[in-house]
Amino acid sequence: MIEYLEQLVEEKKYREALKEAERLLRITKDPHEIVWIHVARVMSHCSLGEEKYSLAGGDAAIQMAERLGEWDAYGLLTLYVGVAYARLGQQVETARRMYDFLGKRHLYRNALKYEYNAWYNLGIANFVEGESQLGTQALINALKAAEGHGEHRHAHGVRQSLIKASLEAGLLEPIPRLLAECATYLRRNPDMPGYFRSWAYHVKMRGEHALATGRPVRARMLLAKALSGVKGQPALEFLFHALLSRIADHLDNAEWALGHALAARTCAVLSHRSDLESEAALLVDELTLRRIPVPRDLDVWYMNV
């Protein structure tokens, strides 16, 4: 009875899947099928960015799956409920759900292929909570799980996330090897979905690593050369201009730093990305306020207010 529903989810027809799930819930009596209907519902809402709807009834469905011994359903429900919490910024709850998923992985059959996803979300949650060592290990586990299940494209994405997290945490030692592995994957898979964006992030992280390891001139040359390759794609141009601004500031070149920051702001506006606009505005303000001295009389006025 639920084969058509599962097909809709597999084909990413999530709105149709939700309508079919509602219909089936009204007529289905078999508790095993009901659990799988809830799996489709939770997955569809989460895939549509409707996290709060994913959480509605999610725990009850998880408990039902556990009682019935429907472990693949339990795993999928637990994972997607955890992903919903992650998107809502509730990292402690995210980590708890991922640990729940991983604690039962020896019971899964089909759900086991999502193990890398659980480790990945756990790693990101740990990093957000300031647990960089736990986060690093979780992402390493995610990488091993993705490779072990033949999910090489996802493994590439995990590597990029591991590089980003390691840069932010100042854990620089493993980064050259990871960068080399990412470069190899990109070279061998030029037709992968999202190739150009992945390449741009790879170049950006190479520049960030060069800057973090005391090679700002190398970082500037790398980014300046790559900038010409993303012309006409403002969101990607933004990435390079913002980093070039930081590099120029590091080299104490105020004019270049502000020029790239203003270019980043223009790219942010053209990309219609409010998050990039906010980041660019902060960058321009930081450079402007730091580089322009406060007049003496204004300093006195502040003290007298």
| In the chain, domain spans | 221-305
Q: Is the pTM of this model over 0.85?
A: no
Give the model confidence (pLDDT) of 111-132 as tens digits: 999 999 999 999 999 998 989 8
Q: Is the pLDDT of residue 299 over 80?
A: no
- pLDDT bracket for residue 229 (50, 70, 90): confident
Give Cα 292 distance to the centre of its chain.
36
Residue 143 contacts residue 155 (beta carbons within 8 Å): yes
Question: Taking Cα atoms as reference points, which of 290, 288, 268 lies closest to residue 278?
Answer: 268
Task: Read off the DSSP letter of residue 105.
Answer: G
Question: Taking Cα atoms as reference points, which of 187, 282, 201, 34 lies closest to residue 209?
Answer: 201
- Give the C-alpha separation, 18 to 26, whole Å: 13
Q: Residue 295: in which H helix or E strand, if any?
A: none
- pLDDT bracket for residue 47 (50, 70, 90): very high
Residue 120 contacts residue 160 (beta carbons within 8 Å): no
| Per-residue pLDDT, 293 | 55
| Per-residue pLDDT, 302 | 38
Give the model confidence (pLDDT) of 247-271 as tens digits: 999 999 999 999 999 999 999 999 9
| Residues 138, 139, 140, 143, Cα dihedral to 10° | 130
